[in-house]
């Protein structure tokens, strides 16, 4: 009889432990509020954040401790959730990615370094082929929220995207921009209308 009572007690304790464990797992599976993560990074970095009211998500992370979350990791988390952070005038604005290209972004120059998920603008002067010929090759490699346009009179491309993707596209543009230099030609308004 004592053995049966002991087995019942062990089963009850094990069942209670498994139930408590499943509750912990269930609550962890819900994730952490994106706004809470922004608050943590704001406290660690002393950056000021303004969060767009559309920024709402529950984030589940693996291998990242919230207490050790960096600004670069926050940008990656925002990217996964289709948001981004744009910093200017001493304030970081957290907005949907689609809004980033309409904001004052840093213009990337030779040798500049940015975080991979930071949005940048880049002007690329194409030297050996008409820029309009490069456009169909690289446009499919850009996400819907990015921007690509041509300035026909200077044979240039204007890119707005995340730094990592702009770097990737710069490598492709350089590979396509081969051959003797293009001869400059007169530019007229009809060329501008056709290109855009």
User: pLDDT tens for residues 162-187?
Assistant: 999 999 999 999 999 998 888 766 66
pLDDT of residue 174: 95
- Domain 119-195 sits in CATH at 3.30.1370.120
pLDDT in tens, 133-150: 999 999 999 999 999 999
pLDDT in tens, 17-52: 444 333 333 334 568 999 999 999 999 999 999 999
Closest CA to 79 of 91, 100, 97: 97
Running DSSP on this structure, what letter comes out for residue 112?
-
Cα distance between the two ends of the chain:
88
Residue 65 has pLDDT above 60, yes or no: yes
Q: Give kind and range of the element (H or E) at residue 7.
A: helix 2-29
pLDDT in tens, 101-145: 999 999 999 889 999 999 999 999 999 999 999 999 999 999 999
CATH topology of 2-100 equal to that of 119-195? no
Do 173 and 138 form a contact (C-beta atoms < 8 A)?
yes
- Mean pLDDT on 48-59: 94
Query: 178 burial class (0-12, 13-18, 19+ CB within 10 angstroms)?
Result: exposed
Residue 148 DSSP SS3: strand
pLDDT of residue 13: 37
Do 101 and 107 form a contact (C-beta atoms < 8 A)?
no
Residue 44 DSSP SS3: helix
Q: Which CATH architecture has domain 2-100?
A: 3-Layer(bab) Sandwich (3.55)
* Two structure tokens written together for 161: 């995207």
Q: Where are the domains of the chain?
A: 2-100, 119-195
Phi, psi of 87 (to 5 degrees): -105, 125
Closest CA to 167 of 125, 128, 110: 110
pTM of the model: 0.76
């Amino acid at each position: 009889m004592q053995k049966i009572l002991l087995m019942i007690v062990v089963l009850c304790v094990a069942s209670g432990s498994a139930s408590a464990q499943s509750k912990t797992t269930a609550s962890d599976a819900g994730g952490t509020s994106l706004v809470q993560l922004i608050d943590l990074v704001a406290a660690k970095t002393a950056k000021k954040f303004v969060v767009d009211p559309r920024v709402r998500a529950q984030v589940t992370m693996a291998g990242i401790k919230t207490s050790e979350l960096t600004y670069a990791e926050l940008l990656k988390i925002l990217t996964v959730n289709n948001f981004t952070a744009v910093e200017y005038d001493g304030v970081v604005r957290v907005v949907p990615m689609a809004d980033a290209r309409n904001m004052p972004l840093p213009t990337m120059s030779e040798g500049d370094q940015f975080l991979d998920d930071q949005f940048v603008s880049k002007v690329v002067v194409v030297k050996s082929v008409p820029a309009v010929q490069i456009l169909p090759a690289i446009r499919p490699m850009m996400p819907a929220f990015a921007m690509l346009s041509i300035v026909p009179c200077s044979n240039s491309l204007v890119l707005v995207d995340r730094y990592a993707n702009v770097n990737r596209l710069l490598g492709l543009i350089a590979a396509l921009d081969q051959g003797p230099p293009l001869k400059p030609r007169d530019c007229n308004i009809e060329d501008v209308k056709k290109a855009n």
